[in-house]
Amino acid sequence: MRLLLVRHGETASNVAMALDSLPPGPPLTEAGRAQAEALARDLADVPVTAVHASVAVRAQQTAAPVAAAHGLEVQVVDGVQEIFCGELEGRSDREAYGTFMSTVRSWADGDLDVPLPGGESGRQVLDRYLAAVEEVTAGRAEDDVVVLVSHGASLRMAALALATNVTPALVAAGLLPNTGRVELERAGDGWVCTSWTGVDVAG
């Protein structure tokens, strides 16, 4: 089966470069809604069998046109929301952004127990996210295609943990644009990444 991990469309917080993790969060901007419609057109010929989204409004609004294009309903799943920023929530200054990025990089390098100030640790993020992935993919047929709309930082960490060929270097360099996606294929008991924002990934 295939699992398409998709980042949500643009929000006002994205435009302001503000750290924004608490659901339900802001809605999509006009540009974000256009991105969601473009995503639906891009996936129109993909045999999507299920569409899931995080508890955040922006994820659900991004998923809605994709689901509609395939005659499906958006299924909301807890656990795939953005990394909880704690004391950094709402901040857009360079210091806050630097703290967030350096902490996430330390997680990618294997130090999962370092928390954001007043926020989550990498281990907490992965525990909830991977459990949600297991929930939405369990019992699926070999030819199923599941779309899961979530959030850039938590999505990248999950892809690193799930796929055997996703490296910390790819996670650090491969920042996802709004509605960018990571495509995974089931391989035995795990996953292999086949595409990262449209670029093929070596097995």
Annotated catalytic residue within 8, 37, 52, 183: 8
Whole-number Å distance between alpha carbons of 202 and 73: 33
Does the annotation list 7 as a binding residue?
yes
8 is catalytic: yes
Does the annotation list 167 as a binding residue?
no
Annotated catalytic residue within 37, 52, 82, 151: 82
Whole-number Å distance between alpha carbons of 102 and 51: 32
Whole-number Å distance between alpha carbons of 107 and 144: 31
Asked if 149 and 62 touch (Cβ cutoff 8 Å), the reply is yes
Whole-number Å distance between alpha carbons of 184 and 146: 10
E strand segments, the chain: 2-7, 50-53, 74-76, 145-150, 181-187, 190-196, 199-200
Does the annotation list 14 as a binding residue?
yes
Does the annotation list 10 as a binding residue?
yes
Whole-number Å distance between alpha carbons of 65 and 15: 22
73 is catalytic: no
- Secondary structure tally for the chain: helices H, strands E: 7, 7
Does the annotation list 8 as a binding residue?
yes
Does the annotation list 165 as a binding residue?
no
Does the annotation list 13 as a binding residue?
yes
Does the annotation list 9 as a binding residue?
yes
CA atoms within 13 A on the CB side of 61: 20
List the binding residues for substrate.
7-14, 58
List the binding residues.
7-14, 58
- What positions carry a catalytic annotation? 8, 82
